[in-house]
Amino acid sequence: MSNEIIYLDNNATTPLDPRVLEAMMPYFTNNFANAASTHQFGLGAYEAVKEARKQVAGLIGAETNEIIFTSGATEAINLAIKGVAEAYSQKGNHIITVSTEHSAVLDTCQYLETKGFEATYLPVKKDGLLDLETVRNAMRPETILVSVMHVNNETGVIQPIREISEIAHQSGALFMTDATQSLGKIPVDVDNLGIDLLTFSGHKIYGPKGIGVLYIRQRQNRVKIPALLHGGGHERGFRSGTLNVPGIVGLGKACELAGKEMAENEKKIREMRDFLEENFLKNERVTLNGNSKERIFNTLSFCIEGIDANILVSKLKNIAFSNGSACTSALIEPSHVLLAMGLSDTDAFSTIRVSLGKYNTVQEINTVSKMFFSWID
């Protein structure tokens, strides 16, 4: 095997699309103006941001005035949840989320609990899916927000967010989704899915790191939240600070490409994922985590009995995959997602996540498939 890396950790981050880099480069070099400046140089940067906002809005069926640029999904999640808590506290103090959410959601809810808010962390079934009755039963008159991740970052399980948003709205609550793992892979339309607040990061869709989006509904059922950062009134007052013009331009281009190439990417990636899965499951020590049908096409989470996944990940120098969520990889503890699905600590520590992307090749997948059984001998 060559020294080239076979990269199978695309849920953690994706490589930058060369076309995205090409779109960004002028704003690192000649077109470096501040988009808030009123001279002609600054107006050029402002127009580039305006175009990117249009590209992002187009991917999710939103209006341009509903798109707020942030440093990433984590900041967007904080801005959304804390903002709703502050703005709607007179209506109620109850937030509903799911035990398998990303830490950015869970940690924010736990923080708000120290400020007098109540949070309900819904359990999931063994396959990682929510039971809709569980959501209905958790609703209260004082519930102000229901936050459910669209696609789980560890297992790829897709939650029925349209049905969940309907339950939230019937009770007068807002509905938010972390769409970081779904956006650019499957269609996401904020109106069809009944989404009031949506978050995602650029680096999951072959865009740059350090840039993300918060969608805030401004049409029917308009959402009103206060700013988290003050100092200049940028981004319609929601998020002050000099705009990251190269990052914004790159994110816009990544969204445009994702919309155009979504179907083509899905077909190619799904075939490779299914091939790997079929070969892995030939070994009786391997079991699949999560629902086998309601999941994103690029993700494969599986447990290998008797293997320490952390040791395996570090041992394979030329293959990059994950033993859990990259955002919590610094902590040597079992995945909270897998534990919530009923796995034991031992099985959670024996779990591998393979997440494919558009730059993976059939040759790479064949190589990994052939090597797999030598990993577990």
Nearest to 320 by CA among 353, 298, 347: 353
**Which residues fall within 8 angstroms of residue 1, CB to CB, at 6 or more apart?**
318, 367, 371
Residue type, 26: P
- The Cα-based distances of 120 to 79, 98, 140 in angstroms read 19, 8, 11
Q: What is the DSSP letter of 151?
A: B
Matching residue, tokens 């709205």: 169
Which residue pairs, CB below 8 angstroms and at least 24 apart, start in 281-289? 283/372, 283/373, 283/376, 285/376, 286/376, 289/128, 289/155, 289/338, 289/341, 289/343, 289/351
Cα dihedral sign, 277-152-326-245: positive
| Structure-token match 């805030």, residue found | 216
Residue 147 near residue 178, CB atoms below 8 Å: yes
Exposure string over 170-194, b if 16+ CB within 10 A, otherwise e: ebebbbbbbbbbbbbbeebebeebb
- How many Å apart are CA 37 and CA 2, to the nearest integer? 50
Is 327 designated active site? yes
Annotated catalytic residue, options 109, 255, 303, 327: 327
Residues designated catalytic: 327
